[in-house]
A and B are shown apart, each in its own frame.
Chain A
Amino acid sequence: MFESLQETVLSKPDLQRLDSIIQGYILQKMVPSLSTLLGDEVTFSTIKTSELTFEDMYNILPQDEFQETDVGVYVTCEGDIKYGILFHLPLSDARKLASKLLGTEQTETLSSDARSAVAEIGNILAASFFNVVNEDTGSEMMSTVPGLAIDSASTLVETPIMETAVSETFVHTFGQLQCVNSGITLSASIFQDPIDAKKLFR
């Protein structure tokens, strides 16, 4: 087990390199996809990639990020490389996002149509990320049907981590997509196993 752990730990330069690669992937397709979907200018900021242990699970998101109930859309990708992507945003922003997509007034709660719209945004954005990885590495992957949950941020991150990590640690990349005109901020947490992360170094 010790040998396995040593083999999978990424160095600081590895993490910086991964940071740069993933940022490139997000800028290449995820940002333009969200911009097309919302008809809004979208900027990308705040990227941080870390290799963490399961003990860090509940502290990976910025503490000031979530002041209220959060909405998370989770998509996994199976195949040559395994990913878990969690898109998360405050409920108020999710309501704003759904209202914009459905062309309806904002409601106090998320209707089934609103949930479907927010989940589909996550699905399309995750697929846009997987598409770039596929083009860049030649890896074949297939994404799962997206799942949507409304819960605390700490609960939302549990499933992606447990499903993605196969060794002692996991790699977490955190970034934010900001819609300039609507003011919506969509956070993205990308989870992968360190062994899979190394497959991007080509």
Chain B
Amino acid sequence: MSDGTKILVADDASFMRTVLKDILKSNGLATDVIEAPDGVEAVRQYIAHKPDLVTMDVNMPKADGIQALKGIMKVNPNARVIMVTSVEQKHIVQDAMKSGARDYIIKPFDKGSVGLVLNKALRSK
């Protein structure tokens, strides 16, 4: 799965980016991991690298994850974006799913279940 697979990790917390990168590498899901510390940079990096999958934190500075998701979907309506949120509120999750997110992960998460969600998204069309 990881041969040539590019994944963009968008999270303002460098700690969470490191945790997600470790999960991606230990599960053999990505060969190339790109990082973005805010929503504006996430859209910029998506356009520059066209990754196979994006993990998008909801709560970020400059532009939040929902705004960045919408920006990416404008560029590529088939983009695979997984939302990562610690705020498990229905209206936020519904907004993300309506805007084109494939799935979502609630923090704190265990590495195994995150690997499954990301693997499933990478296999989907």
In contact, A145 and B108 (Cβ under 8 angstroms):
no
Q: Within 8 Å CB of B87, what residues of A?
A: 127, 130-131, 141-143
- Are A145 and B59 neighbours in the complex by a CB distance under 8 Å? yes
Q: Which of A116, A140, A144 contacts B13 (CB 8 A)?
A: A116
**Most chain-A Cβ atoms within 10 A of its Cβ — which of B12, B18, B86, B110?**
B86
Question: Does A36 lie within 8 Å of B110, measured CB to CB?
Answer: yes
Partner of B12, one of A127, A141, A143, A145: A145
Contact with A along B90-123 (1 / 0, CB 8 A): 0110000000000000011010000000000000
Whether the pair A131, B108 counts as a contact (CB closer than 8 A) is no
Task: State whether A113 and B18 are in contact (beta carbons under 8 Å apart), knowing that A123-B13, A124-B86, A134-B89 are contacts in the complex.
Answer: yes
Known A123-B59, A145-B60: A140·B89 in contact at CB below 8 Å: yes
B15 & A113 in contact (Cβ 8 Å cutoff): yes
Q: Which residues of A contact B85 (CB under 8 A)?
A: 127
Supposing A123-B13, A131-B88 touch, asked if A143 and B107 sit within 8 A by C-beta, the answer is no
A112-B14, A116-B14 are contacts. A123–B89 as well, Cβ < 8 Å? Answer: no
- Give bound CA distance, A108 to B122, whole Å: 41
* Interface residues as binary, B67-87 with A (CB distance below 8 Å gives 1, 0 otherwise): 000000000000000000111
The answer to the question of B61 belonging to the interface, with a C-beta cut-off of 8 Å to chain A, is yes
Residues of B within 8 A of A85 (CB): none
Q: A101 and B92: CB pair below 8 A?
A: no
- Measured between alpha carbons, how far is A131 from B89 in the docked complex, in Å? 7
Find out whether the CB atom of B108 lies under 8 angstroms from the CB atom of A37. yes
Please give the distance in Å from B41's CB to the nearest CB on chain A: 14
Contact partner, B16, options A36, A120, A127, A142, Cβ 8 Å:
A120
Instruction: Give the residue of B15, B60, B61 whose beta carbon is less than 8 angstroms from that of A120.
Output: B15
> Which residue on chain A has the smallest CB distance to residue B11?
A120
Contact string, A120-162, partner B, CB cutoff 8 A, digits 1/0?
A: 1001100110110010000011111100000000000000000
B15 touches A116 (CB 8 A): yes
Decide if A119 is an interface residue (CB 8 Å cutoff): yes
Residues of chain A within 8 A (CB-CB) of B16 are 116, 120
At the interface, yes or no: A173 with Cβ under 8 Å from chain B?
A: no
Smallest CB-CB separation from A117: which chain B residue?
Answer: B15
A134, B91: Cα distance in complex, Å: 11
Name A135's closest neighbour in chain B (CB-CB).
Answer: B88
Q: How far is the CA of A33 from the CA of B88 in the complex (A)?
A: 13
User: In the complex the two chains form, is B107's CB within 8 Å of A124's CB?
Assistant: yes
16 new A-B contacts at CB < 8 Å, known A124-B107, A140-B89 = A36-B108, A36-B110, A37-B108, A101-B15, A102-B15, A102-B18, A119-B15, A120-B13, A124-B86, A124-B108, A127-B87, A128-B86, A130-B87, A131-B89, A142-B89, A143-B59
The 3 closest A-B pairs by CB, nearest first: A127-B86, A117-B15, A116-B15
